[in-house]
Amino acid sequence: MIRPVLLAGAAVSLGLALPATAQSPPSAADRAAMIESALSAAPATLRGTVRVADFDGNVLREGPPGFTCLPAPPGIAGPMCVDEVWMGWIQAWSKREPFTVPRVAFAYMMAGDSATGGASNIDPHATTPSAANDWMVEGPHIMILTPDAASLQAIGAAHHHGGPYVMWAGTPYAHIMVPVGPRPEQRSVATAR
């Protein structure tokens, strides 16, 4: 539930081939706030060692290979921790290129979406809620990529019951959403910006 415009710098920092704009490193206070935001997405088992980067391409804290946590981008989604397969997914999604999931992969958004965030459950590139795009602001959740398309069909896209559901079904960016905490208030079309 990330937007392409905000991913370019982080992608360069993490070895992805997206264009980046020149940005100055964050101040110490901004750096600390971004690390705190990014780590809020991680399960407790990752918080002490995970790599942290920002959306301008700055590595805020080194860590072992595997997962990278990113702070909440302004106005969309929320902070997230993604594995290496998800980073490839982000690159493909941001360029609107096909993506084939090579293995089961995980991403954590344990802080959930921000109140002004969320995403369409059907349109991978929608940026605001509309009457037709089934916008969802999710609480704490885990996201799973799977190479098994049949498992996605078995789960389905219905998210109103509170259990796992498939976001962006039928697209190369389909993934399983697993809610693990309460949902925040939903954004309505009338209040969308």
pTM metric for this prediction = 0.84
Q: Among 1-15, 64-78, 153-167, where is mean pLDDT lowest?
A: 1-15
Considering the chain, what is the average pLDDT of its residues? 84
| Cα dihedral 41/179/86/55 (nearest 10) | -40
DSSP state of 173: T
DSSP state of 120: E
Distance of CA 116 to the CA centre of its chain: 14
Given a cut of 70, whether residue 168 has pLDDT beyond it is yes
pLDDT digits (tens, 9 = 90+) for 17-59: 333 444 677 888 989 999 999 999 999 999 999 999 987 768 9
- Which long-range CB contacts under 8 A does 23-29 form with residues at least 24 apart? 23/56, 23/57, 23/58, 25/58, 26/54, 26/56, 26/58, 26/60
Instruction: Give residue 190's pLDDT.
Output: 54
Annotated domain spans of the chain: 4-191
Q: Which sign does the torsion angle of CA 5, 15, 38, 166 carry? A: positive
Cβ-based neighbours of 22, under 8 Å, separated by 6 or more: none
> pLDDT above 90 covers what percent of the chain?
56
